[in-house]
A and B are shown apart, each in its own frame.
Chain A
Amino acid sequence: MIDVLAGLLLLAGALFMFIAALGAVRMPDLMTRMHATTKAGVLGAGLMLAGVALYFAEADVLARAVAIVLFTMLTAPVAAHAIGRAGYFVGVPFWEGTVKDELKDRYDPDTHILASPPEHQEPGQG
Chain B
Amino acid sequence: MLSTILQPLVYLILSVSLGLGFFRLVQGPTLPDRVVALELIASLTVGLIVAYTFFSAQTAFLDVALVLALTGFLTAIAFARYLEKGGQRDD
Residues of B within 8 A of A65 (CB): 62
Residues of A within 8 A of B23 (CB): 25
Q: A21-B18, A79-B76 are in contact. Are A4 and B2 (CB under 8 A)?
A: yes
C-alpha spacing A84/B83, complex, angstroms: 11
Partner of A90, one of B3, B13, B89: B89
Quick check: A91 and B46 within 8 Å, CB to CB?
Answer: no
Quick check: A58 and B20 within 8 Å, CB to CB?
Answer: no
- Of chain B, the residue at the smallest CB distance from A81 is B80
Q: A11-B9, A25-B20, A75-B73 are in contact. Are A87 and B32 (CB under 8 A)?
A: yes
- Of chain A, the residue at the smallest CB distance from B76 is A79
Partner of A83, one of B13, B16, B36, B62: B36
**Chain B residues with a Cβ under 8 A of chain A:** 2-3, 6, 9-10, 13-14, 16-18, 20-21, 23-24, 30-33, 35-37, 39-40, 43-44, 46-47, 50-51, 53-54, 57, 59, 62-63, 65-66, 69-70, 72-73, 76-77, 79-81, 83-84, 87, 89-90
**Chain A residues with a Cβ under 8 A of chain B:** 3-4, 6-7, 10-11, 13-15, 17-18, 20-22, 24-25, 30, 33-34, 37, 41-42, 44-45, 48-49, 51-52, 55-56, 58, 60-61, 64-65, 67-68, 71-72, 75-76, 78-79, 82-87, 89-92
